[in-house]
């Protein structure tokens, strides 16, 4: 391959990372080509943000359920979804 590269990995998601890490561990020279946001689905729109959203929803659910604790009146839910 030109420029002394051994492997071109297209994409930068989990599969691409595994290939690149393995190749570099074997002493190969690797280039990674990404058309979108570096890190792929899991990091940017999949596993990580979805678990953050689930954790936020759980915290919201717990906070809205304060009526079961004496002395903690429930607050009315106010959703905006706007930053
Ligand atoms: C909402 C959601 C939640 C998820 N939760 C989990 C979870 O909890 N646990 C779990 O194990 N999995 C989860 N997944 C699945 C996980 O995200 C995918 O299995 C994983 O990301 C697949 O990795 P990949 O490397 O095959 O592809 P991707 O991560 O999609 O990476 C592909 C990359 O290649 C790039 N690309 C594509 N074509 C080109 C091109 N022609 N040129 C340059 N770049 C290109 C893309 O831009 C992208 O960055 C979830 C997925 C979603 C959508």
Using 50, 70 and 90 to split pLDDT, how confident is the model at 73? Answer: low
Question: What is the arithmetic mean of pLDDT over 70-78?
Answer: 67
Q: Can you tell me which atom of ligand 1 is nearest the CA of 15?
A: 25
- pLDDT (tens digit, 9 = 90+) per residue, 8-49? 999 999 999 999 999 999 999 999 999 999 999 999 999 999
Residue bearing the CA closest to ligand 1, atom 35 = 11
For residues 31 and 2, what is the distance between their CA atoms, to the nearest angstrom? 11
Q: How far does residue 8's CA lie from ligand 1's centre (Å)?
A: 18
For residues 57 and 66, what is the distance between their CA atoms, to the nearest angstrom? 15
Residue bearing the CA closest to ligand 1, atom 49 = 40
- pLDDT (tens digit, 9 = 90+) per residue, 54-63? 999 999 888 8
Model pTM greater than 0.85? no
């Amino acid at each position: 391959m030109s420029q002394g590269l051994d492997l071109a990995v297209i994409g930068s998601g989990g599969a691409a990372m595994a290939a690149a890490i393995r190749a570099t561990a074997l002493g190969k020279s690797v280039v990674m080509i990404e058309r979108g946001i570096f890190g792929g689905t899991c990091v940017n729109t999949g596993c990580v943000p979805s678990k953050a959203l689930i954790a936020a929803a759980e915290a919201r659910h717990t906070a809205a359920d304060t009526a079961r604790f004496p002395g903690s009146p429930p607050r009315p839910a106010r959703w905006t979804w706007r930053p």
